[in-house]
């Protein structure tokens, strides 16, 4: 699989792995990230503080590093929720067809009609604030894209010989879908999931930026950025560095997804 | 010509059948939207569901507000009756009164609408005006230098969080260079007449840019893919063989075919723009629907939240429906036979 990835996607994959390594060592920075020194507030970047300091004198570089695992994990788990729900709805509709497909397709369309951020904000603000709420809110608003992917894949595959053979051998629908169709639909779903991770990371950052994401003291990149507008006239570094981490991460996942898509469509084309 | 006539009839009938089918399919979707908003209401703190659940940390509602919710949404009634009343009110376009200022929700939405329309309308125009030529030129020479450079740039724009872009633009263009105002709709001391229009445009520049670049990156990639696909079709080669110039073949033949999928995508851009409005209007203190929605979420003004969700989703449904019908009419395979 990796050997078929284009060069840009391999670089992206390496960067994603590096991010997870940073996330693994980040607990070493949490003490520094929480170290409030009011006499050092809003210092511009320097050797002592490469990203500068925030409005409470905390080292911004340490805070950005300490936030890595939160942003990455929420992105991954929320994307997983989205893929599981989306695959369930899409595969059920595609395999069962008829009325079930009509209803599930309408359900997908209904959710697609809502502006994502409207639903996200309502869910995140109405449910008790916790990481689980954020993950659920993101997963439950972004699954329609995965459902459409899954449905299309299942429709393509369900009349192929191996699926008919499994059915003729007496396998139940759930078994046909999970044991026979799912493995074959996996590559496109993987692409959808990789795009989903970057989406989920952005969504979490948007929620935290707007102040309805993770409850304090947990701080994601979006949460760190939420302080930036108040100091836009005096401290540009508050906006630049946490956003840069976010941008680089989202770009890497998008590049990886794009490369996976190329690799799988080329492989499937022959 | 009898044959052509018959073909024409069947094409028209097919078109009509398609449009009718599309509208019929939209009815259950519309119903689903109304149900989903109804469910959203039951998540709201103060509603029966959350009252019986665990105590909400820091999200308690006052007794008065709870009483208000009960009265407004008939929460004392059993579920089926409550749902019936909700449907009845939606059908009459009665979205209730805002908890904050007691005014009808529809009035508050109407007040905020022009600001959002101006912002999103300009963003949409700008998106089309840039994305289409960009996609056509890039797709005209796939893997050429322009295609490669624009691909990287579009990819970067696509991955850029809108609130980060807004903050960077503000610190560079407003704070450092002082070229554009930081936020707001107009300056306090704005002169009238022509100079006043200039002031308004200066205030629009940054928020419109922030709303534009994301959909631009998305759309340009779609147009490019369509043009690349069209270039490999027989009609394109045939046009070149007839002696049509490369530029004319690109714009008259490849582009027109690449435009078809763009029509259907236009409907889907609407929810994205509304989502973007929430963030952009908040950062730039823009008095539109996005800001109204966010403020209502923060102040727990449920009638406004539910009303705006309903209006946003129904508008999107209408836009996708219109786009699909327009597509059916624009597709020459249907139109020319009709």
CB contact under 8 A, A128 and B54: yes
Q: Kindly indicate the confidence band of residue B10, based on its pLDDT and cuts at 50, 70 and 90.
A: low
Question: How many A/B residue pairs have CB atoms within 8 Å?
Answer: 142
* Torsions phi, psi for B271 (to 5 deg): -60, -35
Q: How far is CA B313 from the centre of its chain?
A: 10
Q: Of A83-87, B2-6, B36-40, B256-260, give the lowest mean pLDDT range.
A: B2-6
Structure confidence at residue B64 (pLDDT): 66
* Interchain pair B312, A212: CB under 8 A: no
pLDDT in tens, B192-204: 677 778 888 888 8
User: In angstroms, what separates the C-alpha of B244 from chain A's closest C-alpha?
Assistant: 33
pLDDT at B255: 82
A240–B54 CB contact, under 8 Å: no
The whole-number pLDDT of residue B258 equals 79
pLDDT at B203: 85
What pLDDT score does B63 carry? 63
Contact yes or no for B32 and A255 at CB 8 A: no
Cβ of residue A227 closer than 8 Å to a chain B Cβ: no
pLDDT at B244: 81
Residue pair A237/A45 in contact by the 8 Å Cβ criterion: yes
B162 CB neighbours in chain A (<8 A) are: 206
Measured between CA atoms, the residue of chain B closest to residue A119 is B309
* Residue A109 touches partner B, C-beta closer than 8 Å: yes
| pLDDT (average), residues A74-93 | 92
pLDDT of residue B19: 83
Task: State the nearest Cα–Cα gap between B257 and chain A, in angstroms.
Answer: 23
A138 at the B interface (CB within 8 A)?
no
Query: pLDDT digit string (tens) for B42-74?
Result: 777 655 444 433 444 344 555 666 677 777 777
Contact across the interface for A210 and B317, Cβ inside 8 Å: no
Beta carbons within 10 angstroms of residue B244's beta carbon = 15
Query: pLDDT-derived band of residue A213, with 50, 70 and 90 as boundaries?
Result: confident
Mind listing the pLDDT tens digit for each residue in B138-192?
888 888 888 889 988 998 998 999 999 999 998 888 877 878 887 877 777 766 6
CB contact under 8 A, A126 and B159: no
Distances (CA, A) of A187 to A18, A243, B94: 24, 31, 48
How far B333 CA sits from the closest chain A CA (Å)?
25
Contact B274 A254 (CB under 8 A): no
Q: The whole model's pTM is what?
A: 0.85
**Looking at the predicted structure, is the pLDDT value of residue A41 above 70?**
yes
For B328, how many CA atoms within 13 A lie in the half-sphere containing its CB?
A: 19
Tens-digit pLDDT profile for residues A222-250: 889 988 888 888 888 888 999 999 999 99
Q: Would you say the ipTM is above 0.95?
A: no
* Partners of A59 in beta bridges: A53
How confident is residue B116, by pLDDT bands cut at 50, 70 and 90?
Answer: very high
* Cβ–Cβ below 8 Å for A225 and B163: yes
With an 8 Å Cβ cutoff, are B283 and A229 in contact? yes
A100 touches chain B (CB under 8 A): no
CA dist A112 and A145 (Å) reads 8
Instruction: Indicate the residue of A112, A118, A232 with minimum beta-carbon distance to B309.
Output: A118
Q: How many Å apart are CA B220 and CA B23, to the nearest integer?
A: 29
- How many whole angstroms separate alpha carbon A13 and alpha carbon A173? 36
**Confidence label for A178 from pLDDT (cuts 50, 70 and 90):** confident
Span A19-28, average pLDDT: 88
| Residue A19, pLDDT above cutoff 60 | yes
Phi, psi values for residue A195, rounded to 5°: -65, -35
Average pLDDT, chain B: 81
In our burial notation (b when 16+ CB lie closer than 10 A, e otherwise), range A41-74 reads eebebeeebebbbbeebbbbbbbbbbbbbbbbbb
Which of A114, A202, A265 is most worth mutating to test chain B (most B CB atoms within 10 A of its CB)?
A: A114
């Amino acid at each position: 699989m990796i050997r078929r990835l284009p060069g840009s996607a391999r670089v992206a994959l390496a960067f994603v792995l590096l991010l997870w390594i940073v996330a693994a060592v980040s607990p070493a920075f949490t003490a520094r990230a929480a170290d409030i020194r009011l006499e050092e507030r809003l210092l511009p970047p320097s050797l002592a503080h490469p990203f500068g300091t925030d409005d409470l004198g905390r080292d911004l570089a340490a805070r950005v590093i300490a936030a890595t695992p939160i942003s990455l994990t929420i992105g991954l788990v929320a994307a997983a929720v989205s893929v599981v729900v989306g695959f369930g709805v899409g595969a059920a509709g595609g395999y069962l067809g008829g009325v079930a497909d009509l209803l599930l397709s309408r359900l997908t369309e209904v959710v697609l009609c809502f502006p994502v951020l409207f639903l996200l904000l309502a869910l995140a603000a109405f449910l008790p604030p916790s990481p689980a709420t954020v993950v659920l809110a993101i997963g439950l608003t972004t699954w329609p894209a995965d459902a459409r992917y899954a449905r299309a894949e299942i429709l393509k595959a369900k009349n192929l010989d191996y699926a008919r053979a499994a059915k003729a051998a007496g396998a139940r629908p759930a078994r046909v879908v999970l044991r026979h169709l799912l493995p074959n639909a996996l590559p496109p779903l993987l692409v959808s999931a990789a795009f989903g991770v970057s989406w989920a990371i952005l969504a979490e950052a948007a929620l935290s930026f707007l102040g309805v994401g993770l409850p304090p003291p947990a701080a994601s990149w979006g949460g760190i950025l939420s302080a930036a507008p108040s100091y836009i006239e005096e401290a540009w570094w508050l906006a630049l560095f946490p956003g840069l981490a976010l941008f680089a991460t989202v770009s890497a996942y998008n590049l990886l997804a794009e490369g996976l898509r190329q690799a799988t469509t080329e492989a499937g084309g022959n | 010509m009898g044959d052509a006539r018959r073909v024409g009839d069947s094409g028209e009938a097919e078109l009509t059948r398609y449009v009718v089918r599309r509208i019929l399919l939209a009815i259950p979707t519309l119903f689903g939207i109304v149900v989903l908003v109804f469910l959203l209401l039951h998540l709201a703190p103060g509603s029966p569901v959350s009252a019986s659940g665990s105590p909400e940390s820091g999200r308690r509602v006052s007794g008065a507000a709870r009483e208000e919710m009960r009265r407004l949404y008939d929460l004392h009634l059993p579920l089926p009756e409550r749902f019936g009343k909700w449907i009845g009110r939606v059908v009459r376009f009665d979205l209730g009164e805002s908890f904050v200022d007691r005014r009808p929700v529809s009035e508050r939405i109407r007040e905020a609408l022009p600001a959002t329309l101006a912002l999103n309308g300009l963003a949409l125009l700008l998106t089309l005006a840039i994305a289409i030529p960009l996609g056509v030129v890039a797709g005209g020479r796939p893997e050429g230098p322009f295609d490669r450079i624009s691909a990287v740039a579009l990819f970067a724009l696509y991955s850029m969080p809108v609130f980060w872009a807004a903050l960077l633009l503000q610190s560079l263009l407003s704070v450092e260079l002082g070229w554009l105002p930081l936020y707001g709709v107009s300056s306090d001391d704005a002169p009238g007449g022509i100079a006043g229009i200039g002031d308004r445009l200066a205030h629009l520049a940054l928020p419109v840019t922030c709303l534009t670049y994301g959909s631009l990156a998305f759309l340009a990639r779609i147009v490019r893919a369509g043009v690349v696909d069209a270039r490999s079709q027989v009609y394109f080669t045939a046009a070149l063989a007839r002696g049509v110039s490369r530029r004319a073949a690109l714009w008259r033949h490849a582009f027109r075919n690449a435009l078809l999928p763009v029509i259907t995508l236009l409907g889907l851009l609407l929810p994205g723009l509304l989502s973007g409005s929430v963030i952009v209007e908040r950062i730039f203190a823009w008095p539109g629907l996005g800001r109204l929605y966010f403020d209502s979420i923060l102040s727990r003004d449920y009638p406004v939240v539910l009303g705006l969700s309903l209006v946003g989703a129904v508008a999107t449904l209408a836009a996708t429906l219109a786009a699909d019908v327009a597509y059916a009419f624009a597709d020459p395979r249907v139109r020319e036979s009709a």
